[in-house]
Homo-oligomer: A and B are copies of this chain.
Amino acid sequence: MSNAAAKEQPPQHFDALRTAILERKHELPKRLTQVAAYALDHPDEIAFGTAASIALSANVQPSTLVRFAQFFGFDGFSGLQMLFRARLRERNSSYEDRLRQLEQDGPALTESSSIFNGFISAAHRSLDAVIAAVEPEKFERAVSILAEADTIYLIAKRRSYPISSYMAYAFGKLKVRFQLVGTAAGIDDDMLAMATPKDAAFAISFSPYASESTAQARVMAARGVPVISLTDSAFSPLAECSKEWFEVVEADHAGFRSLSASMAFAMALTVGIAEARRRH
């Protein structure tokens, strides 16, 4: 056996195991590869779960887990699991250290690191702001309006476009009928002309507002199509023509905004809609 040597010397530390898995991943048969990927992606599950529960999540047999562990020189699954547990104990302390370090020597860090930390913390703040700003009842109403729609028209340009494109991707997976407005040039108006009051529109626009998006939302509203919108100010022109609108203010770092909170909001709306449809 090629792993006879390994059998006598299983990895003693999580990092060693991780390295071994990555090094030998190409020699692994199909199911063991599956386990390897699951193990590295969900280490916490391995640490706490039982062989049976882990096997279920990873879509393999418990015996496969044992074989996997044996492949890397352990007696059985339990031996491998100990490494995952040890890691969790260590990580807690080291993670705390890191946070403390970040707070202390923030100014001393390299510029890239401080930009990185800045965006992460801006994202945290944005999420906090969103959860405070969005009223559950309003959200509920928006979900039901969109869930009852025949087709959902997604209106977004420029900075908002990534959000609508992700919603489009998710709607596709969830089998919710939609139209992404603004993909091919010129035919937007024709597309919108097909919308009826049985449909609905979801418009996204942040300051400075793209005039096209605003205009399109107005047209829809005028024709009786219910419009839900996501924007960053109560003064947004979108607010006027919307049945429900949400204000999401992304915190910025050095003047640049990411879309972390908007993305989370959009995903919640998307899944909420799909879920509401499934129930009816």
Contacts and interface: CB of A to CB of B under 8 A. Distances in A.
Interface stretch (A7-15, A64-72, A190-198, A251-259): A251-259
A234 to B, nearest CB: 5
A184 to B, nearest CB: 10
Interface string A119-131: 1101110010011
A68 B259 CA distance: 32
A169 B165 contact: no
Contacts of A52: none
Interface in A255-276: 256-261, 263-268, 270-272, 275-276
Given A41-B232, A170-B256, A113 B131 contact: no
A260 B110 contact: no
Nearest to A234: B40
Interface residues of A, number: 77
B112 A143 contact: yes
Nearest to A89: B44
B99 A94 contact: yes
A112 B130 contact: no
Interface-central residue, A85, A118, A233, A268, by most chain B CB under 10 Å: A268
Contact of A165 (B25, B36, B161): B161
Copies of the polypeptide in the assembly: 2
Nearest to A87: B92
A159 interface: yes
B163 A119 contact: no
A257 B169 CA distance: 12
Interface in A133-169: 134, 136, 139-140, 143, 158-159, 161-163, 165-166, 169
Contacts of A120: 127, 130-131, 264, 268
A59 to B, nearest CB: 13
A39 to B, nearest CB: 10
